[in-house]
């Protein structure tokens, strides 16, 4: 069991470090608003994983994926939500304050945003279905507690990796702060990230 969990944690680290919509989103938020925003966003994304872990543990994820209409509806809703976020950024002021200057309400909003993004991304559901069963240490036994343990390891490991990305990004922001037209560049970077993730979910 211990060897299996260590292998699972190692695989999770590799996957978390691989370029993808979640870590790119955390990186963008950290560069734009500081490490605190990146960590809060990470907390939201990881909180959403609790829901996916419960679904796979009790077999609900398999039922959703098996229904093409329901699965497509989730993808469309998720993509529309991300396009809505991109539109909000487009309408916002290009003047961006770096570092941890965001308000408490903004941090709560980022946390909720991270949860919603994770829940409305059916790719996460497919990933859990494909990835987790390979690391069950007793496939013939009761899989519910095994899935819950794997989910816990996945969330802790991912939080540590994404949190590290958020902290490192704040240093990058320090150098970018001296660049001219920074606000415009970061504004469009956020738009590109949101639209890109929306297309990723749909296709």
Of 186, 182, 112, 153, residue with least CA distance to 9: 153
Buried b (16+ CB within 10 A) or exposed e, 10-20: eebeebbeeee
Of 131, 163, 154, 137, residue with least CA distance to 10: 154
pLDDT in tens, 17-47: 876 778 888 888 888 777 888 899 999 999 9
CB contact set of 85 (below 8 Å; sequence gap of 6+) = 113, 194
pLDDT in tens, 110-159: 899 889 888 887 778 877 887 888 788 887 788 888 899 999 999 999 99
User: Would you state the pLDDT for residue 27?
Assistant: 83
User: Would you state the pLDDT for residue 71?
Assistant: 73
Q: How confident is the model at residue 96 (pLDDT cuts 50, 70, 90)?
A: very low
Q: What is the DSSP letter of 134?
A: G
């Amino acid at each position: 069991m211990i060897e299996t969990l260590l292998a699972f944690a190692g695989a999770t680290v590799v996957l978390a470090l691989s370029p993808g919509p979640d870590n790119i989103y955390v990186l963008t938020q950290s560069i734009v608003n500081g490490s605190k925003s990146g960590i809060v966003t990470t907390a939201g994304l990881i909180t959403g994983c609790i829901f996916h872990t419960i679904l796979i543990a009790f077999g609900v994820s398999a039922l959703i994926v098996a229904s093409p209409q329901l699965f497509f509806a989730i993808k469309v809703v998720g993509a529309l939500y991300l396009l809505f976020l991109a539109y909000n950024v487009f309408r916002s002021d290009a003047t961006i304050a770096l570092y941890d200057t965001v308000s408490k309400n903004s941090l709560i909003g980022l946390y909720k945003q991270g949860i919603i993004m994770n829940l409305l991304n059916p790719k996460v559901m497919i990933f859990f279905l494909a990835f987790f069963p390979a690391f069950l240490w007793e496939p013939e036994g009761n899989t519910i507690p095994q899935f819950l343990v794997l989910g816990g390891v996945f969330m802790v490991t991912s939080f540590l990796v994404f949190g590290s990305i958020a902290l490192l990004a704040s240093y990058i922001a320090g150098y970018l702060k001296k660049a001219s037209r920074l606000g415009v560049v970061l504004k469009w970077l956020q738009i590109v990230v949101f639209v890109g993730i929306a297309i990723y979910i749909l296709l």
